[in-house]
Structure 1
C-alpha cells in the first residue's frame, strides 16, 4: 500500500543533526509516510547514518549520489516519491509531532494543492516565531489572485513572499507533476522562493495554518548561507532572469514591480554579505562597484517608485541607484 506522505530529506555533512531531524519524523502522531534520505555526496558519517535508519525501518529509503546541491536532491525526491503528498525537510531542522496529522487532515478535507504552516527559528536557547503577513485559512483560486498575487514574488517592504520556505509546506504530488513544477538545479541559493512563487501561481486550492508553528528552522552560525561569493551572486542573477521569463508576460497580473523589488532584495543581500566578508577593503569595494554597475541592477530603477522601507534603507537604495559605490563603501565598510 502506498504511503500518504513522502518526506524528502536532502543530506549533506550533517552527522551532528541528522538523528534529530529523522527522529522528529518518526515521532509524528501521523505515521503513514515514507522517508527518502538523499545522501548528496556527504564526506562525514551522514551516509552511514542514513543506511542505519533504512535497516531499522522499512519506510525509509536512501539514495546515495554525487554532490549536486539541494535543488537537484529535492528533484530526485519528487521523482522517487510514492506518496499522495510530498514534504521537504532540511536535514539540520526538525518538526513538531503534530505537524503532518493536522496538515493531512486539512488537505484531505479540502482537496488542497498545498498547505502551509508557520515556523520557529531556533539557535541554541533562542527562539523566534515567524508568521506571514497574510490571513490564515482557505484560499480559492480567486482569493489567491485577489489577495496573494500582489505578494507572490516579493512584499512591498522588500521582504520575501509568504512561500519563502518550502519546508513549511505539504504539497500534493500530482499537482506538482501535472504543472511540471520542479527546482532549477543550476540555482544553488534561495531556491525556495522561485519554486514557491511558481507553486502559488498555479495553485487553485491553498490553506494557511497561521500561528501553527510546527517547523523548527535551525540557524547554524557556521553555515555559508550568508557568505558572499561570485557563485552566489550569479545564482541571484539567474533567479531574476527566471522570474522575468516566467512571470514577465503574465496576462493575469503585472508582476514587473515585484520582480524589480526582488532584484533589489538580492542586491541588498549580496552587498550585505560583502560587508562581512574577509576580503580586504579594496577587494570588497571592487565587488561592490561591480554589483552596482551590473545591468540587472541598473534595470531596477527605470520607472521605479521607492518601496515602503525605513529612511536608512532608502538612503542605501539611493546610493545603489546612483552607483555611488565610494560613498557606500565609506559609510558601510569597516
Structure 2
C-alpha cells in the first residue's frame, strides 16, 4: 500500500543535527509516510546515520550520491516519491509532532493541491515566530488568481512571496508530475523562491494554516547564507532569467513589475552581503560597482516606479538607480561601524 506522504530530506554534513530531524518525523502523530534520505555526498558521519535509521524502519529509504547540491537532491526525492503528497525538510531542522496530521487531514478533506503552515526561526538563544501577510484559510483557483498572483513572485514592499519556505508546504505529487515542476539544478541559492512561485501558479487549490507554527527552522549565525560570493550572484541572475522566461509569457496576469522588484531584491541582498565579505575596502568598492553597473540592474529601472517602502530604503534604491557607488559604500561603511 502506498504511503500518504513522502518526506524528502536532503542530507549534507549534518551529523550533529540529523538525528533530531529524523526523530521528529518518526514521532509524528500521523504515521502513514515514507522518508527518503538523500545523502548528497556527505563527508562526515551523516551517511552512516542515514543507514542506521533505514535498518530500523522499513519506511526509510536512503540514497547515497555524489554532491550535487540541494536542488538536485530534492528532485531525486520527487522522482522516487510514492506518496499522494510530498514534503521537504532540511536536515538541520525539525517538525512538531502534529504537523503532518493537521496538514494531511485538511489536504484530503478539501482535495488540496497545496497546503502551507507557519514556522519558528530558532537558534540556541532565541525563537522568532514567522507568518505570512496573507489571509488564513482556503483559496480556490480564482482566489489564487485574485489574491495571490499579485504577490506570487514578490510583494510590493520588496519581500519574498508566501511560498518562499518550501519546507512548510505539503504538495500534491500529481500536480508536480503533471506540470513537470522540479527544482532548477543550475540554481543553488534561493531555489525555493522560483519553485514555490511556479507551483502556486499551477495550483487549483490552496490552504494556509496561518499561525500554526509546526516547522522549526534552525538558524545558524555562522552560515554562509549572509555572505556574498560570485556563485550566489549568478544564481540570482539565473532566477531572474527563469522568471522572465516562465512568468513573462503568462496571459493570465502581468508579472513584469514583480519580476523587476525581484531583481531589485536580489540586488539589495547582494550589496548588503558585501559588508560581510572578508575583503579590503577597494575590492568591496569594485564588487559594489560591478553589481550596480550590471545590465540586469540597469534594465530594472526602466519605467520603474519606486516600491512602497520606507524613505530610507527609497534612498538606497535611488543610489543604486543612479549608480552612486561611493556614496552607497560610505553609507554601508557607516552602518557597519554603528
TM range (shorter): over 0.9
1:240 aligns with 2:240: yes
CA distance in structure 1 between the partners assigned to 2:52 and 2:96 by the alignment: 23
Q: What is the aligned partner in structure 2 of residue 5 from structure 1?
A: 5
Describe the superposition over 1:215-260 as per-residue Cα deviations: whole angstroms up to 9, x where unpaired. 0000011211111110000000000000000001211100000000
Describe the superposition over 1:77-97 as per-residue Cα deviations: whole angstroms up to 9, x where unpaired. 000011111000000000000
Q: What is the aligned partner in structure 2 of residue 100 from structure 1?
A: 100
Following superposition, the deviation at residue 311 of structure 1 comes to: 1.0
* TM-score, normalised with respect to structure 1: 0.99
The count of residues paired between Structure 1 and Structure 2 equals: 334
Q: What is the aligned partner in structure 1 of residue 17 from structure 2?
A: 17
Gaps of 5+ in 2: none
CA distance in structure 2 between the partners assigned to 1:172 and 1:116 by the alignment: 12
Following superposition, the deviation at residue 310 of structure 1 comes to: 1.0
- Structure 2 counterparts to residues 154-233 of structure 1, below 5 A: 154-233=154-233
Q: What is the aligned partner in structure 2 of residue 284 from structure 1?
A: 284
CA distance in structure 1 between the partners assigned to 2:321 and 2:290 by the alignment: 13
CA distance in structure 1 between the partners assigned to 2:36 and 2:54 by the alignment: 9
Structure 1 segments of 4+ aligned residues over 4 angstroms from their partners: none
Following superposition, the deviation at residue 206 of structure 1 comes to: 0.6
Following superposition, the deviation at residue 125 of structure 1 comes to: 2.8
Describe the superposition over 1:105-129 as per-residue Cα deviations: whole angstroms up to 9, x where unpaired. 0010011101000000001131111
1:83 aligns with 2:83: yes
Q: What is the aligned partner in structure 2 of residue 308 from structure 1?
A: 308
1:31 aligns with 2:18: no
Q: What is the aligned partner in structure 1 of residue 41 from structure 2?
A: 41
Q: What is the aligned partner in structure 1 of residue 149 from structure 2?
A: 149
Following superposition, the deviation at residue 16 of structure 1 comes to: 0.4
DSSP-derived class of the 2:162 partner: coil
CA distance in structure 1 between the partners assigned to 2:177 and 2:325 by the alignment: 45
Gaps of 5+ in 1: none
Following superposition, the deviation at residue 43 of structure 1 comes to: 0.4
Describe the superposition over 1:26-83 as per-residue Cα deviations: whole angstroms up to 9, x where unpaired. 0000000000000000000000000000011111000000000000000000000111
CA distance in structure 1 between the partners assigned to 2:125 and 2:290 by the alignment: 39
What is the root-mean-square deviation in Å for CA atoms of aligned residues? 0.7
CA distance in structure 1 between the partners assigned to 2:297 and 2:192 by the alignment: 22
* TM-score, normalised with respect to structure 2: 0.98
DSSP-derived class of the 2:221 partner: coil
CA distance in structure 1 between the partners assigned to 2:282 and 2:57 by the alignment: 55
